[in-house]
Amino acid sequence: MGKAWYEIIQDIDRRIIYLVVFLVVSIPFFLSIRAPMEVGPPAQHLFDCVENIAAYNKTAPKEKIVLIIPEWDPAVQAECKPQTRAMMEHCMKRGVKFATMSWFYPQGVELAEKVAEECEKKYKKKYGVDWVSWGYKPFSLATFLAFIKDIYTLVEKDSKDTSIREVPLMKNVDSLRDVGLVFYVSGGSGIGYYINYALPEIGFSIGTGCTAILGPEMRPYLDSRQLVGMMEGMAGAAQYEKLLEFKEGRGTRGMGSQSFAHLWIIFTIALGNVGYLVHRRRLRKAQKGE
């Protein structure tokens, strides 16, 4: 005797599920699906922080810079790259200078440099004047504490091997007190070092771009205002792109795939549960009948 319908929908072949996931993720990349994305408070607050720095720089005698920490590798670049790009484009658009460096991922800063090079062409900005790369520095707590105390003890040359004191942008940067915002983009949790050690000492704002899976972990820091704002996963990048009034950024485009993938997961969960509940009901009825 064949399986009943409620048993079949509880046990769909995993290859069918994989195939549909593949289709719902890949097809939207070739279609231009534009759905309105609502901007949440975490992305809005991060955006406002950069805007405030831009406004401050217009009147203040000494400019503040943004320090972008790209602690990501190709594994999480689907989420972290659009976040890094959105922040870099915002800085360049508003004339806020930025530096970039990484502690845990040597490839992170290299990948971020490529993003910055793409952005500088778009906004006609120049390396060394509008942005600089401090390169990769292997992490240890002592090194990090020394960096907080004096960035020049650790950063002697930029990633292009130029003496850091000769980089025009750095002439305006004496210490981390000249950093208005640290933007930590990561799929890991190294941001704790900035929150625990750098924030009490320096007092700058810290924002984060994180993978969606890390978002819940970051919420207590947002609640306590230790984090000024956040781009949470690809949705966070898409929200930020909306604030930047991009017609179609990488994050916004990726949301089409994410939307359909979520809908498919919800559909399969619902299907499995309908089968399970009907099955349970029939079993109970049969038991009562006995």
Partner 1 sequence: MRRTIIILITFIGGLYYFLNFVLPQETPLVPFLTPDIKFSDAIEEIGRVTLVIGVFAIFLGVINLSRLHLGRISRRRPGWYNSVALLTAFAAMFTFQLLKTYAPSEWGDKFQSLLFDHMYAPINSTIMSLLAFYMASAAYRAFRIKSGEAAVMMFIALIVMLGQIPIGQLLTSGLKGAEGTNPWYSYLRLEVVREWFMGVWNSAAQRGILFGMVIGAFALTLRIWLSLERGSFFDREL
Asked if residue 49 lies in contact with residue 280, where contact means CB atoms within 8 angstroms, the answer is no
Here's the x/- map for partner 1, 197-226, by CB under 8 A: it reads as x---x----------x--xxx-xx-xx---
Residue 225 gets the label, from left (phi > 0), alpha (psi -120 to 50) or beta, of left
Shortest distance in whole angstroms from residue 109 CB to partner 1: 13
Rounded-to-integer distance, Cα 67 and Cα 217, Å = 22
Asked if residue 211 lies in contact with residue 218, where contact means CB atoms within 8 angstroms, the answer is no
Q: Is 245 in the site for partner 1 (CB under 8 A)?
A: no
267 residue type, one letter: F
Sequence-ordered strand ranges (E) for the chain = 65-71, 98-102, 131-136, 179-186, 205-210, 229-232
Shortest distance in whole angstroms from residue 97 CB to partner 1: 26
Measured from the CB atom, is 22 or 123 closer to partner 1? Answer: 22
Here's the x/- map for partner 1, 161-190, by CB under 8 A: it reads as ------------------------------
Count of residues in contact with partner 1, rule CB under 8 A: 63
By CB under 8 A, name the one of 122, 126, 165, 262 that touches partner 1: 262
By CB under 8 A, name the one of 70, 82, 233, 251 that touches partner 1: 233
CA quadruple 136, 142, 145, 146: dihedral sign: negative
Measured from the CB atom, is 100 or 258 closer to partner 1? Answer: 258
User: Residues 38-54, buried b or exposed e (16+ Cβ, 10 A)?
Assistant: eeeebbebbbebbeebb
Shortest distance in whole angstroms from residue 186 CB to partner 1: 14
* Alpha-carbon distance values, 222 to 40, 180, 217, 251 (Å): 13, 17, 10, 22
Rounded-to-integer distance, Cα 92 and Cα 21, Å = 37
**Best CA proximity match to 47, nearest among 246, 218, 201:** 246
Asked if residue 79 lies in contact with residue 187, where contact means CB atoms within 8 angstroms, the answer is yes
Measured from the CB atom, is 96 or 198 closer to partner 1? Answer: 198
Tell me the three state secondary structure of residue 3.
coil
Q: Is 4 in the site for partner 1 (CB under 8 A)?
A: no
Measured from the CB atom, is 88 or 235 closer to partner 1? Answer: 235
Shortest distance in whole angstroms from residue 81 CB to partner 1: 10
Measured from the CB atom, is 96 or 235 closer to partner 1? Answer: 235
By CB under 8 A, name the one of 51, 57, 272, 278 that touches partner 1: 272
Q: Is 31 in the site for partner 1 (CB under 8 A)?
A: no
Rounded-to-integer distance, Cα 69 and Cα 218, Å = 16
For partner 1, the binding residues in 92-151 under the rule CB under 8 A are: 107, 138, 140-147, 149-150
Site residues, partner 1 (CB under 8 A): 12, 14, 17-18, 21-22, 25, 35-38, 40-41, 73-78, 107, 138, 140-147, 149-150, 153-154, 197, 201, 212, 215-217, 219-220, 222-223, 233, 235, 238, 255, 258-266, 268-269, 271-273, 276-277
